Amino acid sequence: MEGLFFNVDTGFLEGIVRGYKSGTLTQSHYASLAQCETLEDFKTQLSATDYGNFLANEPSPLSTATIADKATQTLVDQFNFIRSNSVEPLSKFLDYITYGYMIDNVVLLITGTLHERDTHELLERCHPLGIFDTMPALCVATNVEELYQSVLVETPLAPYFRDCLSAADLDDMNIEIIRNTVYKAYLEDFYNYVSTIGSTTADVMHNILAFEADRRTINITINSFDTELTKEQRAKLFPAIGRLFPTGNNALAKADDIDQVRQVCENVSEYRSFFDNSASAQTNGDLGDFGVAAQLEDRFFRMEVHLNKLAFLQQFQYGVFYSYVKLKEQEIRNITWIAECIAQDARDRIHDFIPIF
């Protein structure tokens, strides 16, 4: 039944998003981008794609940062176009997408202030999708309580922060804990929200969000080895959703090294491949934990891209909007990576991006 009336409110926007999606760079685009000698070539090559002349008015020499900025700007423009044309419940859904970026921005600002960086510089580095009105005022807060009371209380993030209110002073460790608690709350809330807006959306989004939650769980576990974080505290940070929940989460909460993490992941067939090569790499010895984590991150990204691509197979659901933003973000990361490789003349690593289509 939801399919019957879906197009009344959302058909246009879904069409737009699918149109945008067909503009994402393909394998052949990447191949020709990777052949570029200079960033000027890169610009010429990109102008033949959907990015069009987004760099036409930039004076040379180009910098990688400009390319990334401009590319992000195109994504933001597209998102804002969709957001301003949407109605409930899609608009709410789209807002949920921005919450993730808002959390990142909040954490970025707090960390920056803690290290006494210039506020304006910090504001420029914030992701444009997650900017909100009162954000600049974050830099005056010195503890979470104050942060909450002065700024966050009127943002949509307020309920997520409520769980981690403590008068404790902000330090790096605490911020990391806050970030993860808040993100956990956000993911759970988002998960619940998508359950209320139709079963198709829920099906698609639950897959993606479950993976997102699992990824965070695994990351938290690996990153908390050899830190002061107690195991109880660690367990509190795990989102209560995902395919590892609850058994896997419990096991992970007790894990002490990467092998135990791998054993947990073995239980989920899709995750089994995450540690395949990394185990052999570890036996080679030289990479160590850091190498494993880096490789793991790469695989996570691949998995994320794969899941997001799947979202486009279903019609009449909102997952495409989420997936489009995520895929485009990945694409921008890819472009930046290739541009960076060209700029620094590191051609051997130029193919280490994650192709989308």
Partner 1 sequence: MGDDYPTLFRSEQMSLMQFLIPTEVAHDTVAELGELGNVQFKDLNPAVNPFQRSFVGEIRRTEEMARRVRFFESQIQKEKDVVPIRPLYDSASLVTVGPSAAHNIDELDVTLAAHETRLVQMNDSYKTLSERTRELVEARHVLRETAVFFEKAETQQTDIRTSFDDSSAPLLQHDDREQQYLSTVQFDLEFVAGTIDRTRISTFERVLWRVLRGNLYMNHTDITEPFIDPATGAETRKNVFIIFAHGDALLAKIRKVAESMGATLYPIDANADKRSDSLREVTARLEDLETVLYNTGVNRRSELVRIGEHLARWQDVVRKEKAIYETMNLFNYDVRRKTLVAEGWVPTRDLTMIHMALRHATEESGTSVVPILQELRTSKTPPTFTRTNKFTEGFQTIMDAYGIATYQEVNPGLFAIVTFPFLFAVMFGDIGHGLIILFAALYMIFQEKKWARQELDEIVGQFFYGRYIILLMGMFSVYTGLMYNDIFSKSLHIWHSGWDFLEAGSNGVSYALSNGHIYPFGVDPAWHGADNGLVFTNSYKMKMSVVLGVIHMTFALCLQLPNHIKFKRPLDIYANFIPQMIFLQSIFGYLVVCILYKWSIDWSTRDTEPPSLLNMLIAMILSPGKVDATAQLYRGQGFIQVVLLLLAVVCVPWMLCMKPYFQWKEMQKIQGQGYVGLGHRNGGPRESTDEVLEIEEEGNGRVIVEEMEEEHEQHDFSEVVIHQIIHTIEFCLGCISHTASYLRLWALSLAHAQLSEVLWSMTIEKFLGLSGIFGTIALVMVVVFWFSATVFILCIMEGLSAFLHALRLHWVEANSKHYQGEGYSFAPLSFAKLDEKE
- Segment near partner 1 (CB under 8 A); pick from 54-62, 159-167, 227-235, 308-316: 54-62
> Which has the closest alpha carbon to 7: 308, 315, 313?
315
Q: 149 with 167: CB under 8 angstroms?
A: no
Site string for partner 1, 327-346 (x = CB under 8 A): --------------------
Footprint of partner 1 on 213-272 (CB under 8 A): none
Please identify which residue in 44, 166, 196, 315 interacts with partner 1, judged by CB under 8 A: 44
- Assess 273 for contact with partner 1 (CB under 8 A): no
Q: Which is nearer to partner 1, 153 or 294 (CB)?
A: 153
- Assess 128 for contact with partner 1 (CB under 8 A): no
Say which DSSP state 193 is in.
H
Give, in degrees to the nearest 5, the angle at Cα 134 between 131 and 136.
Answer: 75
- Assess 60 for contact with partner 1 (CB under 8 A): yes
- Assess 137 for contact with partner 1 (CB under 8 A): yes
Contacts of 19 (CB under 8 A, 6+ apart): none
- Segment near partner 1 (CB under 8 A); pick from 142-150, 187-195, 198-206, 322-330: 142-150
Q: Which is nearer to partner 1, 4 or 56 (CB)?
A: 56
Cα 164 to Cα 308: distance, rounded to the nearest angstrom: 31
Cα 170 to Cα 113: distance, rounded to the nearest angstrom: 10
Q: Which is nearer to partner 1, 35 or 80 (CB)?
A: 35
Cα 215 to Cα 162: distance, rounded to the nearest angstrom: 24
Q: By CB neighbour count within 10 A (0-12 exposed, 13-18 middle, 19+ buried), where does 172 fall?
A: exposed
- Segment near partner 1 (CB under 8 A); pick from 145-153, 190-198, 230-238, 249-257: 145-153
Cα 157 to Cα 153: distance, rounded to the nearest angstrom: 8
- Assess 49 for contact with partner 1 (CB under 8 A): no
Q: 128 with 72: CB under 8 angstroms?
A: yes
Q: Which is nearer to partner 1, 7 or 45 (CB)?
A: 45
- Assess 59 for contact with partner 1 (CB under 8 A): yes
Nearest approach, Cβ of residue 165 and partner 1 (Å): 15
- Assess 167 for contact with partner 1 (CB under 8 A): no
Q: 171 with 143: CB under 8 angstroms?
A: no
Q: Record the tokens describing residue 343, joined without a space.
A: 């700029």
Please identify which residue in 5, 18, 19, 40 interacts with partner 1, judged by CB under 8 A: 40
Cα 60 to Cα 200: distance, rounded to the nearest angstrom: 47
Alpha carbon distance, N-terminus to C-terminus of the chain: 32
Please identify which residue in 5, 15, 77, 153 interacts with partner 1, judged by CB under 8 A: 153
Q: Which is nearer to partner 1, 134 or 192 (CB)?
A: 134
Binding site for partner 1 (CB under 8 A): 32, 35-36, 40-41, 44-45, 48, 56-57, 59-60, 119-120, 123, 133-134, 136-137, 139-140, 146, 149-151, 153-154
